[in-house]
Chain A
Amino acid sequence: MLKYVARRILQIIPTLLGVSFLSFSLLYIFPGDPAEIILTITSGSEPSYEEIQKFRAEMGLDRPIIVQYIDWLSKAIRGDFGNSWTEGKPVMDLILQRLPASAELFFMTFAISISFAMLLGIVSAIYKDRAIDHFCRIFSLLGISIPSFWLGLILIWIFSVQLHLLPAFGYGGFEHLILPVLTWSFSFMAIKTRFVRSCLLEALSQDYVITARAKGLPKRIVVLRHALRNALIPIITYFSLSISHLIVGSIMVEVVFSWPGLGSLLVESVFKRDFPVVQALIFISGVLFVVINLVVDILYAIIDPRIRYGD
Chain B
Amino acid sequence: MEFAFVSEVFRSKILKNDLCTIGFGIILFIAMLGLFAPIIADDPYKTNLAERLEPPSIEHLFGTDQLGRDLFSRVVYGARTSLFVAMTISLISMAIGCLIGAVSGYFGGIIDDIIGRIIDVFLAIPELVFNIALVGIFCVAYGVSTWNVILAVVITNWVSYARIMRGIVLSLKEKEFVLCAKAIGAKDSYILLKHVIPNAIGPIIVLATLNMGNVIMTIASLGFLGLGIQPPTPEWGQILNSGKNYITMAPWITFFPGLFIALSVLGFNLLGEGLRDVLEKRTLEY
Q: A161 to B248, alpha carbons, bound, how many Å?
A: 6
Is B217 part of the contact surface with A, judged by Cβ < 8 Å?
Answer: yes
CB–CB B286/A198 < 8 A = yes
B262 adjacent to A146 (CB under 8 Å): yes
User: Chain B interface (Cβ within 8 Å of chain A)?
Assistant: 117-118, 120-121, 123-126, 128-130, 132-138, 140-142, 213, 217, 220-221, 224-227, 237, 240, 243-244, 247-248, 251, 254-255, 258-259, 261-262, 265-266, 269-270, 273, 283-286
Distance between Cα atoms of A244 and B129 in the complex (Å): 12
Looking at A14-22, A42-50, A209-217, A301-309, the stretch in contact with chain B turns out to be: A14-22
Which residue of A146, A161, A256 contacts B251 across the interface (Cβ within 8 Å)?
A161
Check B270–A153 contact: CB distance below 8 A.
no
Q: Are B136 and A271 in contact (CB under 8 A)?
A: yes
State whether A286 and B220 are in contact (beta carbons under 8 Å apart), knowing that A141-B270, A142-B266, A153-B254 are contacts in the complex: no
- The reply to whether B129 and A149 form a contact with Cβ atoms under 8 Å apart is no
Asked if residues B121 and A22 are in contact (CB atoms below 8 Å), the reply is: yes
Q: Are B121 and A198 in contact (CB under 8 A)?
A: no
State in angstroms the CA–CA spacing of A153 and B220 once bound together: 14
Q: A26-B133, A273-B136 are in contact. Are A14 and B261 (CB under 8 A)?
A: no
| A267 beta carbon closer than 8 Å to chain B | yes
A204 shortest CB reach to chain B, Å: 11
10 new A-B pairs (CB below 8 Å) besides A15-B117, A145-B269, A266-B129?
A14-B120, A19-B124, A26-B137, A141-B269, A147-B217, A157-B247, A161-B248, A251-B132, A270-B227, A289-B123
Question: Chain A: residues with CB nearer than 8 A to chain B?
Answer: 14-15, 18-19, 22, 26, 29-32, 37, 141-142, 144-147, 149-150, 153-154, 156-157, 161, 194-195, 197-198, 201-202, 205, 244-245, 248-249, 251-252, 255-256, 266-267, 270-271, 273, 275, 278, 281-282, 285-287, 289-290
Tell me the minimal C-beta distance from A218 to chain B in angstroms. 24
CB contacts (< 8 Å) of A29 on chain B: these are 137-138, 141
Q: How far is the CA of A150 from the CA of B284 in the complex (A)?
A: 32
Question: Closest residue to A270 on the B side, CB-wise?
Answer: B136
Q: Write out the residue numbers on chain B whose beta carbons fall within 8 Å of the beta carbon of A197.
A: 285
The reply to whether B121 and A19 contact each other, CB–CB distance below 8 Å, is yes
* A150 pairs with B262, CB closer than 8 A: yes
Residues in B with CB closer than 8 Å to A255 are: 224-225
Given contacts A147-B258, A153-B244, contact A37 B221 (CB under 8 A): no
Pick the contact of A202 from B134, B140, B255, B284 — CB < 8 Å? B284
CB-defined A-B contacts under 8 Å, sample of 30: A15-B124, A18-B117, A19-B121, A22-B121, A26-B137, A29-B137, A29-B138, A29-B141, A146-B265, A147-B237, A147-B262, A147-B265, A149-B258, A150-B254, A150-B262, A157-B247, A161-B248, A202-B284, A248-B126, A251-B129, A251-B225, A252-B224, A266-B133, A271-B136, A278-B133, A278-B136, A282-B133, A285-B129, A286-B125, A289-B123
